[in-house]
Amino acid sequence: MKFRARLQRGSKDIDYQVELAPNESANGLRSFSVGSQTAEADCEEISPGVYSVLMNGRVYETRISKPPGDPAGPGSTCVVAVGLRRYLVELHDPRRWRRSGSSIEAVGPLEIVAPMPGKIARVLMKEGEEVKRGQGLLVIEAMKMQNELRAPRAGRVERVYVAEGQGVESGARLMRLVQEVAGGLDPRPLEAAT
């Protein structure tokens, strides 16, 4: 499982790619990587919001809480305290789709990513086709269940990255949509739109 994390300590903001192994190893630990570093850890919740983490032979008590006034939900922040150190952490899970229209950018390219690992069962749209909000884009099969991914906004399919029968990992790019603007389709490349 892959996440994008933003860590804030003091005046520094640092972005990380976090990957968690799907299963525990033979010794009961779960491996993970943060950026280019890999480690193994065991974690148990010992009371609400308090965790005991065993990593590299050391035990850490970690407290996780919400900052006052911060709404719950994907992309929200939490305060992680390890000993006397406190970090403000924001996690983004690519498997979660943003549901409200206001959270989706009004213009610019939009990358549609796989919400889970699976196999592409059907590609419903071709490059260059116009789509309406809520229209089916493709079907991904995971654990013998088929899930239709729908367009979160109207636009045009600029790029299809996958083919039917292809296996994909969680967070893999599937399609790119471009948004219509008053003068036509948004001509900006991805780098300029973000």
**Average pLDDT, 10 consecutive residues per value, the chain (194 residues):** 71 74 71 80 88 88 76 64 82 58 55 88 94 91 86 90 92 84 42 39
Same domain, 85 and 113: no
Same domain, 142 and 120: yes
Q: Please calculate the CA angle 49-53-59 and round it to the nearest 5 degrees.
A: 125
Domain boundary among 92, 113, 141: 92
Beta strand segments in 124-170, E = 130-131, 136-142, 145-150, 155-160, 167-168
Q: Total domain count for the chain?
A: 2
Phi, psi (degrees; rounded to nearest 5) at 102: -70, -20
What per-residue confidence (pLDDT) applies to 162? 94
The answer to whether the beta carbons of residues 119 and 169 sit under 8 Å apart is no
Q: Which amino acid, 160?
A: V
First to last CA, the chain: 24
The answer to whether the beta carbons of residues 90 and 5 sit under 8 Å apart is yes
Q: What pTM was estimated for this model as a whole?
A: 0.43
**Domain around 140:** 101-193
Same domain, 111 and 185: yes
Torsion sign (Cα): 164, 165, 166, 170: positive
What per-residue confidence (pLDDT) applies to 130? 94
Question: Environment class of residue 46 by beta-carbon count within 10 Å: exposed (0-12), middle (13-18) or buried (19+)?
Answer: exposed
Domain boundary among 74, 92, 110: 92
